[in-house]
Amino acid sequence: MPTLISKPWFADRPVMDRTRHIARVLAGHGLGAFLHQTGFEKFAPKSWWKKDGRALSQPERLRMALGELGATFTKLGQLMSTRGDMLPPEYLAELARLQDRAPLVPEAAILATIERELGAPANQVFGSFELEPLASASIGQVHAATLHDGSRVVVKVQRPGVAEEIERDLRILARITDWIERSTEYGADYDVWSLHSEFAHTIHGELDYIREGRNVDRMRRAFAGDPGIRIPVVYWPYTSHRVLTMERMEGIKITDLEALDEAGLSRREIAETAVRTFLRQILEFGYFHADPHPGNFFVEPDGTIALVDFGMVGRVSETTQDHLLRSGLAAMELDAEALTEQLYALGVAGRRADRRSFEKDVDHLISHYGGFSVGELSASAITAELSEIAFRHKLQLPSELALLLRVISMSEGMGLMLDPEFHYLEYASPIIKKHWKERTSLRSRLGQIGRSTAEAADFSLGLPRRTQRLLGRIERGEFELNVRHERLEEVTREFQRMTNRLSMAFVLAASVVAMAVAMGAQQDAEMRGFLRWVFLLSFVFTLGFGLWLLVSVWRAGRK
């Protein structure tokens, strides 16, 4: 994979050119305020400022600008559309509309990439290769082909130069992220650097087709015994970091409801299969398809669902699975206290959270749905309201949890699209309870106890050596203690103001005493009269300053 450029951003001509282009696009969409705040306005020609974007809302203009800026910013917008904890609903709705589309890559460039990556021209590697693409996205373009044995495949070819463009954009985004963290209230409320790191990791994964192929293989093995789901086969001899060859999945698009009805397929059964597929991924496998939009689903003649495009895969740890199961049960049982406890355990509420206020909002949410049966509850509505609570409290969800909430909402939406009478939680409830019983069964607990015992034994065996190393570092003076302070600058400024007031009070008091001594020691009547007036003025001034000092101290105490 490409690495970040080491020289300073302002010394890199491609980075500077790309920065100017970003500035022109943002200014052209009426986002000049952001340019001014980030210091990028100097890159935008004055002619671009004449465009009037007042007819569109700022979320709409942001969506249009990100779409125009290409792969990196389109993917960033799609990622942020999942962060209901960090953006208001109107931004989420607009960013969710971002379409990952791009102009067609010239045929010669596609053929050159295949030859460079696979070591031979396309007409030698494949039995046939269609130059007209099936789809064209910002990172890759998909073509139909056949192997020499007649197998029908799809070949995903990475767009030339997209990896280098993404690396430049990530570098520019790192500078913007640094500015947001240092200079804005938003940066103080949220860990924007962790979001940048997560985004960089995700988009690097989408650039590496070897990694995507491994995701496909892993998912296919997991669903090997499930007759309702089919995952394509990866043809590894025809796959590289920039070319991915997979079995072609054919069938009816899951959004083509009329075709499903004409084929005599039960939309209710298809909805149940799709939802069961997601629940198995989340609760059983510990990893899940993170981009489940309807275009990635095909329905075969026997009702089997074929799932494609595994560039984005989310992962759920065993501990998170456990807390998710408990959260699901608490939500279905309308237990606000238990749900709050599990949300804290999941890391929803960080160090900035006011637990009492947060729990009160969760209790209001539970009370609102208290009169509904499980069949009447909406998973999408509940997750949306939880995200709004997090946004209101300026909490930041763990990335895997934010992605998971999006997948839950999309899977429920797919079920309702197929069958408007489909009740997601009513169907999911027994599956969640079944997984919970399996996880808390005696056999499962014995396995957990065995693993914990082994880990405790390993820890005990290594403890003396670790303790000896730690004590040795302390004796040699190599042990360092790093303390992270918060708001220390404000305390320092207040302390400086206090000491300045005190110093001025001492100086003025000393001046008054000195004047009094001077007046008492002076024998000349004329000079004593002059000093009396100076002393009187000094006393009035000192009295006024003393009153001001008392008021300042009183106000500081009130704050």
187 and 59 fall within a common domain? yes
pLDDT for residue 238: 96
In this structure, of 25-29, 114-118, 254-258, 303-307, the range with the lowest mean pLDDT score is 25-29
For residues 60-80, give the mean pLDDT. Answer: 84
In this structure, of 98-102, 143-147, 413-417, 549-553, the range with the lowest mean pLDDT score is 549-553
Q: Where is mean pLDDT largest: 49-58, 356-365, 366-375, 488-497?
A: 356-365
Q: Where are the alpha helices (DSSP H) in 82-131?
A: 89-95, 107-118, 122-125
Distance CA 33, CA 517 (A): 63
For residues 76-96, give the mean pLDDT. Answer: 82
pLDDT of residue 378 exceeding 90: no
Q: For residue 402, is it within any domain? A: yes
Range of the structural domain that residue 182 is part of: 9-100+164-203
Q: For residue 228, is it within any domain? A: no
Token pair 């043809």: residue: 235
Q: Where is mean pLDDT largest: 65-74, 149-158, 403-412?
A: 149-158
- Longest pairwise C-alpha distance within the chain: 124
The residue out of 172, 203, 234 marking a domain boundary is 203
When pLDDT is cut at 50, 70 and 90, the band that residue 6 belongs to is very low
pLDDT for residue 214: 93
Q: For residue 173, is it within any domain? A: yes
Q: For residue 148, is it within any domain? A: no
Q: In terms of Cα–Cα distance, which of 424, 440, 433, 437 is closest to 276?
A: 424
pLDDT for residue 382: 77
| Helix 399-418 / helix 379-392 crossing angle, nearest 10 deg | 150
64 and 182 fall within a common domain? yes
pLDDT of residue 109 exceeding 50: yes
For residues 307-316, give the mean pLDDT. Answer: 84
pLDDT for residue 504: 64
Q: In terms of Cα–Cα distance, which of 178, 183, 184 is closest to 196?
A: 178
pLDDT of residue 95 exceeding 80: yes
With pLDDT > 90 as the criterion, what percentage of the chain qualifies? 19
Q: For residue 429, is it within any domain? A: yes
Report the chain's C-alpha Rg in angstroms.
32
Top pLDDT among 419 and 476 is at 419
341 and 432 fall within a common domain? yes
When pLDDT is cut at 50, 70 and 90, the band that residue 348 belongs to is low
pLDDT of residue 286 exceeding 60: yes
pLDDT of residue 45 exceeding 50: no
184 and 39 fall within a common domain? yes
349 and 423 fall within a common domain? yes
398 and 546 fall within a common domain? no
Looking at the 3D structure of the chain, how many domains does it have?
3
pLDDT for residue 146: 96
Q: Where is mean pLDDT largest: 309-313, 468-472, 476-480?
A: 309-313
pTM: 0.68
3-state secondary structure of 142: strand
Cβ neighbours for 55, distance < 8 A, ≥ 6 positions apart = none
The residue out of 400, 415, 443 marking a domain boundary is 443
Neighbours of 553 (CB within 10 A): 12
CB of 75 closer than 8 Å to CB of 170: no
pLDDT for residue 481: 63
512 and 439 fall within a common domain? no
Q: For residue 495, is it within any domain? A: no
Distance CA 549, CA 559 (A): 15
Q: For residue 515, is it within any domain? A: yes
Ramachandran assignment for 487, one of left (phi > 0), alpha (psi -120 to 50 degrees), beta (any other): left
Distance CA 95, CA 429 (A): 31
The residue out of 443, 462, 479 marking a domain boundary is 443
Catalytic residues: 291
3-state secondary structure of 459: helix
Which tokens go with 55?
């007819």
Type of residue numbered 366: I
320 and 437 fall within a common domain? yes
422 and 538 fall within a common domain? no
Task: Read off the pLDDT of residues 119-146 as tens digits, 9 standing for 90 and up.
Answer: 999 999 999 999 999 988 888 899 999 9
For residues 73-88, give the mean pLDDT. Answer: 82
For residues 71-93, give the mean pLDDT. Answer: 82
